[in-house]
Structures are given as C-alpha cells and as structure tokens.
Amino acid sequence: TLFAEKTISIKYIEPEVAIATALDCSVLRFAAGGADSWRGVLSASKVGASSARSTLVSEMNSWIQTSVSWGGTLSFWIKGTGGTVDLQIDGETVATYGLTDTWSQKTMVLSKCAHTVRWVHHSDKAAPVSAWLDGVEWNQDAPQLQSVSITSAADSRLKTGEATTLY
C-alpha cells in the first residue's frame, strides 16, 4: 500500500475561568491550594455558565477559601463524583458533605465578626474523584451601632452626659 497508518491523539484542554467568576461571586476574593488546586471551569454549573472544580487522585485533598469581615449568611451549591468536602470556619470543621452527582444547596449563618471560610475536598480512593462548587452567595449583616456613654469629656466641645453620633 502507498499509505501508512498514523495515529493522531487530540487532547482537549478545558479553558479556565477566574474562580470568583466561576463561583458567581464578585463580592468575595478566593484563594485555592492543595494537591490539585480548585479551578474555574465551563464543564458543569448550577448557576451561570461555570463553576469551580477540584479533581483528586488517591488520598489527597485540595482547598478553596475566602474571608468575610462581618457576620451574615453564606450559601452555595455543591456536587461531586466521590470523596467529601469539609466546610471549615476559622479552621474548625462545621460540616462535612458526602458528594453525589446531584447539585445540593447548603446555607450557613456566620456570627457577627470576621471569619475565614474554607472548603476542603478529600479523596480516599485510588480512582480520580471530582467536586464542584458553584453559586456562592454572601449576604452580610449590617453592623449594628453601639450606644456609647461619655463619662469623661476630654474635649471642651463635648460635655459629660451629652449624646453624639460617632463615625
């Protein structure tokens, strides 16, 4: 024959999306790390056109985190092909989610102070497992004004017992 057989292999490389964009959350900043860091991807989503994905092999973990400056309500969507995701608030695990292939919405109310929020994907299998996080929504509570009583007036413009507004 005049023609030789030739095998061509084509590898699809999924385009990456910024994590905050993938999570549909422009009010928070995110960082990621671990064995195979979370990435913004177009392959699966619950809200919008993208989500963040972690894919792990063989007893590894990866994390994605953000910080909030005051209390409020955090909600998000999560799903996966295996393993678990721990939700950590200030380094303490407050919930562990077993992953299924169906999106599930979770909500957490955070107390009125600054917090670090971290999602940690764990794998205990030799086969690859993935987790997806999407639709992160942060509704911060309004800080409450405290009543202040002046017991000593160091400034002559303010008299003891007078009320004023502090900014």
pLDDT of residue 136: 97
CA distances (Å), origin 124, targets 61, 82, 83: 9, 9, 6
pLDDT of residue 36: 78
Which has the closest alpha carbon to 32: 52, 46, 50?
Answer: 52
pLDDT of residue 77: 98
Which residues, in sequence order, are CB contacts of 75 under 8 Å at separation 6+?
105, 106, 107, 108, 135, 136, 137
pLDDT of residue 6: 76
**Successive 10-residue mean pLDDT values, the chain, 167 residues:** 71 79 95 89 93 86 94 96 94 96 96 96 85 96 66 58 58
CA distances (Å), origin 53, targets 43, 71, 78, 93, 109: 9, 27, 10, 20, 24
| Contact status, residue 59 vs residue 123, Cβ threshold 8 Å | yes
| Single-letter amino acid, residue 154 | A
Using CA atoms in the order 17, 9, 127, 54, what is the torsion angle rounded to 10 degrees? 0
> Model pTM?
0.77
Triad 81, 63, 61: Cα angle to 5°: 60
